[in-house]
Structure 1
Amino acid sequence: MAHAAPTSGGTVRAGRTPDIFDARTHARARIAISVVTGLIYGDWVAANSRAGGPITGWNLLTGFVSAFVFAVVLWAVMTFAPRLRRELHAAVWAAFAGISFGFLYSATGEAVLRSIGMALAVALVVLILSFYRFYTREDAAGHRIR
C-alpha cells in the first residue's frame, strides 16, 4: 500500500477561505440583476406597444422609461422587502409582479378590465407561492432558517 511521505516542518495551518459572496458582492449583483431585468422588461414593453409596426422614437422612449422604472423598483424591492415580516414581504413581491405584468399586458392594447384581471391573477399566484416560500424558510420573527 502506498502512504504519503512524511514532511518536515510540522503541521500545515489552514487559513480561512475567502468569502467571495460577501455583502459587497450581493449589493453589486442586486444592481446588475435589476439593470439586466429592467432592460429585458423595457424591450418587452416596447415590442408590445408597437404591435409589430415600425420602431419609433416614442416606442424607444416608452421602452427606456419602462426599463428604468422597472429596474429602480426591482432594486428597491430586492433591497428593502427582506426586512419586512414574511406576510408583507410576500405582499410586496405580489404587488410588484401584478403591477409589472398588468402594465406589460396593457401595452398590447387589450381592454383595461382584462389587464386588471390578469394582473390580479398573477399577483394572487405570486402571493401564494412567495408566502409559502417565506413561511417555510423563516421563523416567526422573520429570521432565515439556515
Structure 2
Amino acid sequence: MAHAAPSSRQMTMPRRRPDVFGPRVHLAVKVGLPVVLGLTYGYWAAAIRRDAGPITAWNVLFGVVTAVVFALVFAAVCALAPLLPRELHALCWFVFAGGGFGFLYSQSGASVLSSSGLGLVTGAAVYAMVFYRYYTHEDAAGRRIG
C-alpha cells in the first residue's frame, strides 16, 4: 500500500521536546547544583588535604574557600559555555574538569607533573565526550536540534 510522502515543512522543522519542569524547578537547579557540587568538592579537597589528621580551622577554611571557588567557576562555565561554538564549549569543560581533577589529585601530595598529566588525561576524555555530544545534537550551522 502506498503512503504519502512527508511535506517539506515537516522535514525542516525539528520536533521540540516539551518542558516538563516549571521555571521554579529550573531556577532551583541553576542555583542549587553549583552549591551542592561546590560543598561536595570543598569537603573532598579538605578531607584529602587533612590526610586523616585532626580537623583544624585552616582545614575548614581551605574547604570553604575551595567550595566557593568551585561553585563560582562551575556556575560561570554553565552560564557561558552554551553561548560558545561547540569546539570552545567543549574546551571550557576540558579546562574545568582537567583543572578540578588535577587540583584534587595534587592535594594528595602527588608531584606537579603527575597531577598535570592526570588532569590533562581527564580533561581530554571530557573534551571528547562533550564535543561528541554537542556535535551530534547540533545542525551544520551550530543550532541545537530537538
Q: What is the TM-score when the length of structure 2 is the normalising length?
A: 0.83
Shift of 1:144: 1.3
Distance 2:89 2:22 in 1: 23
Distance 1:64 1:144 in 2: 37
In structure 1, the partner of 2:10 is none
Shift of 1:96: 0.2
Q: What is the TM-score when the length of structure 1 is the normalising length?
A: 0.83
Distance 2:105 2:22 in 1: 37
Please list the CA deviations of residues 23-44 of structure 1 after superposition, one character each: whole Å capped at 9, or x if unmatched: 5532331110000000000000
How many residues are treated as equivalent by the alignment?
Answer: 128
Distance 2:83 2:24 in 1: 18
In structure 1, the partner of 2:84 is 84
Distance 1:115 1:136 in 2: 32
| Structure 2: stretches of 5+ with no match in the other structure | 1-18
Asked if 1:52 is matched to 2:13, the reply is no
Superposition RMSD in Å: 1.4
Amino acid at match of 1:42: G
Q: Percent identity, aligned pairs only?
A: 52
Amino acid at match of 1:145: I
Asked if 1:71 is matched to 2:64, the reply is no
Distance 1:140 1:31 in 2: 32
Asked if 1:33 is matched to 2:33, the reply is yes
Distance 1:78 1:51 in 2: 32
Please list the CA deviations of residues 63-103 of structure 1 after superposition, one character each: whole Å capped at 9, or x if unmatched: 00000000011011111111110010000001000001111
| Structure 1: stretches of 5+ with no match in the other structure | 1-18
Which structure has the bigger radius of gyration?
A: 1
